[in-house]
Chain A
Amino acid sequence: MAFISSGYNPDKPMVNRITDIGPKYYEEFYPPVIKKNKGKWLYHEILEPGICVHVAESGDELYVLRVGGCRIMSVSHIREINEIADKHCDGYLRFTTRNNIEFMVDSKDKVEPLKNDLLSRKQPGGCYKFPLGGTGAGITNIVHTQGWIHCHTPATDASGTVKATMDVLFDQFTDMKLPAKLRVSMACCLNMCGAVHCSDIAILGYHRKPPMLDHEYLDKMCEIPLAVAACPTAAIKPAKVEVNGQQVKSVSVKAERCMFCGNCYTMCPSMPLADTEGDGIVLMAGGKISNRISAPKFSKVVVAFIENEMPRWPTMTKAIKKMVDTYAGDANKYERFGDWAERIGWEKFYEKTGLEFTHHLIDDFRDPAYYTWRQTTNFKFTNAIK
């Protein structure tokens, strides 16, 4: 395409430069009923999956329709969202912290036409463009990352695994029949961008092989002390290596100390570790961030490894479905996934879900590992550990 200037002059980059203006003030985009009743809401109700009503002191009502968003979306999709907002909501809409889309209307008679419009729109392949749901005790959107779409350190894909998982859990998105809300998150490497460390169920990309060393370029591309300091298990040390008869500075990796976190590759481009057969997925479970009843929890590793099986990840989605179904059938009302697992004991969790307990799941990282072992005779006999 031909070059079209925006008015920016590359020869004088600092001329007419606007900076440090921050984001737009959010009140500019409030629907009138929100602006009027801000800070004066009395109560809310979930009318049906995906539809909430908020009632203000003044008696004003705000109906909110929440629909799933795929997070990575094209401009044409955004324009379609805008078109719906123009048609039904006076041009106002918002996105949630889990990347769902919320359309807001100020009277009950506007709800049904909006709902019908949203559910009538489908992708050419057959998917709902705007599936209604994500409220209450169900499974809402999956917070996820870049994966093979854009990042350079992933061990698995984000959009693909999320699509496969949401397809399997779709009934829970459009319904509210779980004991409590269940949050699923996904991160494609253990940088854990997002919320995998604090989600009810988490999908995490994982490597199983140590980095390869590109000795020829390592000292030129990398700041060696940074690569050494990046290693949580101190497996990396500086080394002199001979390349084409010349001594060059580089590093050596003690493979038996390496746990394949990939931090060194983040700091040093000459230490790649992605591997087709080696890479895959770890499943974690039992985290939460709310303070309701119990304190926030970290999620724990419950499945040590599942291979990458593009494009549908059937083994992974089967394990997730099994966990969700067992939890749904066994937990008490208001009990989050981690609350349930801790109440029945993790040994019972493995027995009920049928997940395999392996030595990989036993914490061995520094002193705090000791506190995750069992210093009590309180336990239940199960068939989960053979």
Chain B
Amino acid sequence: METVEFGGKTFSVDEDGFIDSFDNWCPEWVQYVKSVEGIDELNDEHSKLVDVLRDYYEKNGIAPMVRVLSKVTGFKLKHIYELFPSGPGKGACKMAGLPKPTGCV
């Protein structure tokens, strides 16, 4: 696995830049993902999405479906894309430290 250093911390990431473990997530990781995902400014809405994703993953062991994410946060999919240009999977889940989405994507 490759490692990246950011904000004085070292993270192990896979070839798509997802963190190796949910437990190794920290606020510095959020700043690192912001720098690689084309996000200009982090605001409360970004952190709300990340919090919801982490909370849901901790409780259920899976990432929420897009409809659930929209319903819980109140953000329409279009708005989620405005916050995370790469989308809820490649952008938001990566920032939240969730495992890389799988299946036929």
Contact = CB atoms under 8 A, between A and B. Distances in A.
Interface of A: 10, 12-14, 191, 220-226, 266-269
Nearest to B37: A13
A268 B85 contact: no
A220 B21 contact: yes
Interface string B3-23: 000000000000000001110
Interface stretch (B26-34, B42-50, B59-67, B69-77): B59-67
Nearest to B14: A221
B85 A14 contact: yes
A220 B99 contact: yes
B20 A266 contact: no
A267 to B, nearest CB: 5
A217 to B, nearest CB: 8
B60 to A, nearest CB: 7
Contact of B102 (A10, A12, A14, A266): A266
20 contacts: A10-B38, A13-B85, A191-B104, A220-B20, A220-B21, A220-B22, A221-B99, A221-B100, A222-B99, A222-B102, A223-B57, A223-B61, A223-B62, A223-B63, A225-B60, A225-B61, A225-B62, A226-B62, A226-B102, A267-B103
B17 to A, nearest CB: 14
Contacts of B61: 223-225
Interface in B68-105: 85, 98-100, 102-104
A268 B102 contact: yes
A268 B100 CA distance: 10
B86 to A, nearest CB: 9
B71 to A, nearest CB: 19
A265 to B, nearest CB: 9
Given A221-B99, A266-B103, A14 B62 contact: no
Contacts of B103: 226, 266-267
Residue from B57, B61, B98, B104 whose CB has the most chain A CB atoms within 10 Å:
B61
Contacts of A221: 99-100
A266 B62 contact: no
B85 A223 contact: no
Given A13-B38, A226-B62, A266-B104, 15 more contacts: A14-B38, A191-B104, A220-B21, A220-B99, A221-B99, A221-B100, A222-B99, A222-B102, A223-B63, A223-B99, A224-B62, A226-B102, A267-B102, A267-B103, A269-B102
A40 to B, nearest CB: 41
Contacts of A267: 102-103
